[in-house]
Amino acid sequence: SQTIHQWPATLVQPVGSPLSLECTVEGTSNPNLYWYRQAAGRGLQLLFYSVGIGQISSEVPQNLSASRPQDRQFILSSKKLLLSDSGFYLCAWDQALGTAEAFFGQGTRLTVV
Amino acid sequence: ILNVEQSPQSLHVQEGDSTNFTCSFPSSNFYALHWYRWETAKSPEALFVMTLNGDEKKKGRISATLNTKEGYSYLYIKGSQPEDSATYLCAFRQGGKLIFGQGTELSVKP
């Protein structure tokens, strides 16, 4: 069966520090991979979308970047965190079929202080 | 990115009440509409994936309808229970990507 792992679960980082959140998927190959963020009082905002290794679509101009060094690994990074980067980050995967449901990681609560 | 809109933003009902909420999405180039339930301290989980105009799906006390021509979907909960309290998200597939609405936060009081 397929599983998705996301870590860390919580993170408190000072302004200006770097960030690295990691997500890995098991039990499937060539998944679509997503990074979403839930800011306070809002739904899920799509940050990055990837259909394959090295193929990243950035949806929202911001202080973050993403990389996909392996087929089932997706990394969210920042060189210098801003206060506005605080939020709840979710990694997700699905197959390249429009009717396929998405599966989510457990999420990372990031607080920038 | 075209918007996916959900209403209301939040809803408070009593146990036993039936309720419904709306998801509006672009009616052009429709491919699929998803509904997810997101409970506190858990990950979002899929309820329905709907693809055909006029589609109706049901899972227990929860059902959903789809109108692709006018670009909306309704989610219904019959006889709400406290365990139905969650945020309900709809998502529209656009260019392969899943675009989510802002969600409807449902609170069911015993």
Provide the mean pLDDT of chain B: 93
CB A24 within 8 Å of CB A4: yes
- Inter-chain contact B100–A43, Cβ cutoff 8 Å? yes
In B15-103, beta strands by DSSP E:
19-24, 33-38, 45-50, 56-59, 62-67, 72-77, 86-94, 97-100
> What type of residue is A108?
T
Average pLDDT over residues B66-95: 94
Task: With residue A91 as reference, give the H or E element that holds it.
Answer: strand A87-94
Hey, is the C-beta of B44 within 8 angstroms of any chain A C-beta?
yes
Burial class (CB in 10 A: 0-12, 13-18, 19+), A54: exposed
d(C-alpha B28, C-alpha A107), whole Å: 32
Q: Name the minimum distance, in Å, from the CA of A105 to any CA of chain B.
A: 6
Chain B partners within 8 Å of A45 (Cβ): 100
Mean pLDDT score, B46-61: 94
**Residue A3 forms beta bridges with which residues?**
A26
Q: Is the pLDDT of residue A1 over 80?
A: no
The answer to whether the CB atoms of A99 and B99 lie below 8 A apart is no
Provide the b/e sequence for B61-97 (b: ≥16 CB within 10 Å).
ebbbbbebeebbbebebeebeeebbbbbbbbbbbeeb
Question: Which residue would you say has higher pLDDT here, B67 or B97?
Answer: B67
Across-strand partners of B42? none
The predicted pLDDT at position B77 comes to 98
Q: Among A39-48, A50-59, B12-21, name the one with the lowest average pLDDT.
A: A39-48
- The predicted model gives A38-43 an average pLDDT of 73
Q: Which is nearest to A104 in space by CA: A19, A44, A30? A: A44
| Residue in A51, A92, A98 closest to B31 by CB | A98
B6 close to A (CB below 8 A): yes
For the cut 90, the answer to whether the pLDDT of residue B83 exceeds it is yes
B86 touches chain A (CB under 8 A): no
Q: CA-based angle A70:A74:A77, to the nearest 5?
A: 125
Q: Per-residue confidence at B3, pLDDT binned at 50, 70, 90? A: confident
Q: Write down the pLDDT at residue A43.
A: 81
Alpha-carbon span B66 to B42, nearest angstrom: 27
- What is the predicted pLDDT for the residue at A41? 64
Whether A42 has a pLDDT exceeding 80, the answer reads no
Size of interface A-B (CB pairs under 8 A): 61
CB contacts under 8 A, A 29-88 vs B, are: 32, 34, 36, 42-46, 49, 51, 57, 59
CA–CA gap between residue A23 and residue A68 (Å, rounded): 10
Q: Does A106 contact B103 at a Cβ distance shorter than 8 Å? A: no
Beta-strand pair B45-50/B33-38: antiparallel
Cβ-defined contact of B93 to A98 (cutoff 8 Å): yes
pLDDT at A35: 97
- Asked if A98 lies within 8 A of B101 by C-beta distance, the reply is no
Mean pLDDT calculated for residue range A45-54: 94
Condensed to tens digits (0 to 9), the pLDDT of residues A54-111 reads 999 998 868 899 999 999 999 999 999 999 999 999 999 998 766 789 999 999 999 9
Alpha-carbon span B53 to A64, nearest angstrom = 38
> What pLDDT band is residue A23 in, cutting at 50, 70 and 90?
very high
pLDDT of B1 > 60? The answer is no
